[in-house]
Amino acid sequence: MRGLFIGRFQPLHNGHISIMEAAMKDVDELVVVIGSAESSHTLKDPFTAGERMEMLLGTCRELGWGERVTVVPVRDVNRYSIWADHVLSYIPGIDVVYSNNALTAMLFREKGFEVRSTPLVDRNVLSGVRIRRMMVEGEDWEVLVPPVVVRIITELDGVRRMKELSERGDRS
């Protein structure tokens, strides 16, 4: 059985890992789609698809999931009526979708897929938006993401990128 899990992974954090762990108990293989693949260098989407792919591949390898996880970057189409079809045309066939996102769940259910909710993660603690804010404000975000992600963001000087983006204050 093959499952699908979609996220933006800006950055990959422990909330994503919990969902993937839960999914990996049910399925043989997991297709992980990097959504909004074309976006980067903004406060909401700081990292490129390539950088996010490194986070996912490195972490999956560390967790011993290398062979069972396939990571696929997919750009947005901003037409929700065909968005699920768009995603499906880029990936191997799947049996079930994992998602806690209401819109993703709605769109795949409308296409007839089973969508499973995953065990609760406290989204007030573990969410991309909170982690990005912590990075900009100099708080301790490192414990909320896998070690590989800390290393990658450090190497590409990602926190400085985010701080510069937060200061641009475009008044042109």
Judged by the rule CB under 8 A, the positions of this chain that interact with its own copies are: 7-8, 10, 37-42, 48-50, 53-54, 57, 61, 66-67, 70-73, 75, 78-82, 85-86, 88-93, 101-103, 106-107, 123, 127-130, 161, 164-165, 167-168, 170-172
Least Å from the CB of residue 25 to its own copies? 21
Which pair of structure tokens corresponds to residue 31? 């297709």
Least Å from the CB of residue 14 to its own copies? 14
Is residue 39 helix, strand or coil?
coil
Least Å from the CB of residue 76 to its own copies? 10
| Residue closer to its own copies (CB basis): 47 or 138 | 47
| Residue closer to its own copies (CB basis): 90 or 114 | 90
Is residue 47 helix, strand or coil?
coil
What are the DSSP calls for 75-138, one per residue?
---S-HHHHHHHHHHTS---SEEE---HHHHHHHHHTT-EEE------TTTS-HHHHHHHHHHT
